[in-house]
Structure 1
Amino acid sequence: MIDDETPVLDNHLHLDPDNNRGIDAVRDFARVGGTHLLVVNKPSWHLGVEVESGEDFRYVFERTIEIVAEADDVLEGRAWPVLGVHPGLISRLVDDRGYSPADARDLMRAGIDVAAEYVESGEALALKSGRPHYDVDDAVWEASNAVMRRAFERGADLDCAVQLHAEASEDMREVAEWAEEAGLPRHNVVKHYASGRLEGPIPSVMSEKERLETAAERGEPFLMETDYIDDPDRPGAVLGPKTVPRRVNWLLEAGHDEAVRNAHVETPELVYGIDTRESLERA
């Protein structure tokens, strides 16, 4: 069972600062043993922002930073913001708003640059980028890869990690190589919504038992997440905020103590340079 000395980190979830559960979801997480969160900003349009310039992302980023500060007050450990541009924005821009792929690319890269300002100032921990997980035409695919490469460049400049939203895959070595070409080590690249097995980036494993068992048995660095979306229109979507602590208990009961240490102490330090034990003890 989780004890007072065991950090429990959900590496990727969303909190809506204005609607749905917000801090109540954090309280649920903490009530069952959760201690640390990486909170990723919701897609800009989910907060009512139809971006036209990089500056338009600031509202989304600052509202995320504000709710993360509230989460900090609830947790025994800490919460950190992860800021960036959801890759699905390119389809919204091209298909719904008439942007060319090149113009959409430039707008999204400008958003990455603004997110990087918050990492540089210490207000955010990492960047988020990626590419569509669904079929798109070649021009949109190339533009999306260009946005992701910009995130790698900024991550290298700032010595920070980049979380990726991308297609389902167990082999993303090419993407990791792109990061390394930009100067960002592959252990600073995280694929969110990962299975238990991944070549290239660090997998942030969806906290389903089968995926976690695979990750635990592999013994490679991994993280755990729910991708909780805090959407009032989709209350049961993805996994709930209590899931990671409950799965940590399940792993401990199955004798996977080392896997828990890997996912909640060693890999967070490797990827983000954060000390989850120290921040828990200080609290």
Structure 2
Amino acid sequence: MDELETPVLDNHLHLDPEHGQGMDAVRDFVRLGGTHLLVVNKPSWHLGPVPSERADFRTAFEATVEAVADANEILPGRAWPVLGVHPGLISHLVDEGYEPAEARDLMQSGLDLAAEYVANGRALALKTGRPHYEVSDAVWDASNAVLQHGLELGAEYDCAVQLHTEGTDDLTEVAEWAEERGLAAEKVVKHYAGGELAGPTPSVMSEKDRLRVAAEAGEPFLMETDFVDDPDRPGAVLGPKTVPRRVRWLLEAGHDDAVDRAHVETPESVYGIDTVGTLDPRE
């Protein structure tokens, strides 16, 4: 297989060396031409009990930081942690008897802890959002308050914020919330996005139909798999080989400019990372 002469970044995946494929997934990614990763912590309840205090979020954060350190020994480029609180946590907390406002406060404290990792250079960006499924008005309002808190932290610590939200091609309201808090809309990233998105930067799921739209739109975008690294869910969502395969497919279709946007220009403008300068020269 011909080598790819471009950085290849998967903008959103999970690594679980203790329970899942871990570094074997990273090796698969590299073998197909992958170079850089943004590794998002798995939901906290996947790595222990449902959190009941701020310190409980540290387990998932430390596991992610450690996985990134191991991945950096394998990648020709590098990996960075993205830390935060999965919006689905609010449902777990409410099921355990928390009032939505109490769940909001706990989740915001988890984001505060994640921001400390950004502040000391141990994480690149934050993750927050709101449920992608039907919830009560009280839970929806509490979730939006958590999301807005994440945007405030992004502005305070000058970092990007990845969002897990409902499926939509219009998040202009959320982009306005970011701008009102001093965070540029382009530094807000919708994970699991389609090919076009009004408001934040789309992190496009690496399916051909979505990528074709993104490539032809001519706008900034990122590519991701949302690989979950869960032995109980093999194949979910997309495998770690997918982004490099799709980059090869885009190049074969003549979308060189789109590949450059997704893997060089947009990572620089959104996260301030240099995917070219952090790429080791290949022998």
Matching of residue 196 in structure 1 with residue 212 in structure 2: no
Matching of residue 159 in structure 1 with residue 150 in structure 2: no
- Structural mapping, 1:86-101, within 5 Å: 86-95=86-95, 97-101=96-100
- Structural mapping, 1:1-283, within 5 Å: 3=3, 5-95=5-95, 97-281=96-280
Letter in 2 for 1:164: L
More deviation, 4-13/217-226: 4-13
Residue 228 of structure 1: SS of its match in structure 2? coil
Q: Which has the higher helix share?
A: 1
Check conservation: 2:50, 2:93, Cα contact below 8 A: no
Residue 276 of structure 1: SS of its match in structure 2? coil
Work out the CA distance in 1 between the residues paired with 2:5 and 2:278.
Answer: 11
Letter in 1 for 2:112: D
Q: When the two structures are superposed, what TM-score results if normalisation uses the length of structure 2?
A: 0.98
After TM superposition, what 4+ stretches of structure 1 lie above 3 angstroms from structure 2?
Answer: 1-5
Residue 243 of structure 2: SS of its match in structure 1? helix
Q: When the two structures are superposed, what TM-score results if normalisation uses the length of structure 1?
A: 0.98
Query: Residues 227 and 2 of structure 1: is their aligned pair in 2 closer, same or farther, counting only changes over 3 Å?
Result: farther
Letter in 2 for 1:37: L
Letter in 1 for 2:98: Y
Work out the CA distance in 1 between the residues paired with 2:236 and 2:27.
Answer: 19
The alpha-carbon deviation at position 236 of structure 1 amounts to 1.6
Check conservation: 1:5, 1:277, Cα contact below 8 A: no
Residue 279 of structure 1: SS of its match in structure 2? coil
Letter in 2 for 1:188: K
The alpha-carbon deviation at position 281 of structure 1 amounts to 4.1
Residue 46 of structure 2: SS of its match in structure 1? helix
Work out the CA distance in 1 between the residues paired with 2:2 and 2:159.
Answer: 29
Check conservation: 2:115, 2:153, Cα contact below 8 A: yes
The alpha-carbon deviation at position 2 of structure 1 amounts to 6.5
Work out the CA distance in 2 between the residues paired with 1:66 and 1:2.
Answer: 32
Check conservation: 2:50, 2:92, Cα contact below 8 A: no
Check conservation: 1:163, 1:189, Cα contact below 8 A: yes
Deviation track 1:235-280 (CA, whole Å, cap 9, x = no partner) reads: 0211000000000000000000000000000000010000000000
Check conservation: 1:38, 1:80, Cα contact below 8 A: yes
Work out the CA distance in 1 between the residues paired with 2:133 and 2:182.
Answer: 28
The alpha-carbon deviation at position 5 of structure 1 amounts to 3.8
Query: Residues 66 and 157 of structure 1: is their aligned pair in 2 closer, same or farther, counting only changes over 3 Å?
Result: same
Identity score, percent: 71
The alpha-carbon deviation at position 282 of structure 1 amounts to 6.4
Work out the CA distance in 2 between the residues paired with 1:196 and 1:90.
Answer: 28
Letter in 1 for 2:65: I
Q: What count of residue pairs does the alignment treat as equivalent?
A: 282
Letter in 1 for 2:142: A
- What are the ranges of 5 or more consecutive residues in structure 2 without an aligned counterpart? none
Deviation track 1:13-50 (CA, whole Å, cap 9, x = no partner) reads: 00113112011000000000000000000000100132
Work out the CA distance in 2 between the residues paired with 1:257 and 1:274.
Answer: 20
The alpha-carbon deviation at position 3 of structure 1 amounts to 4.0
Check conservation: 1:125, 1:272, Cα contact below 8 A: yes
Deviation track 1:156-211 (CA, whole Å, cap 9, x = no partner) reads: 00100000000000000000000111110001000000000100000000000000
- What are the ranges of 5 or more consecutive residues in structure 1 without an aligned counterpart? none
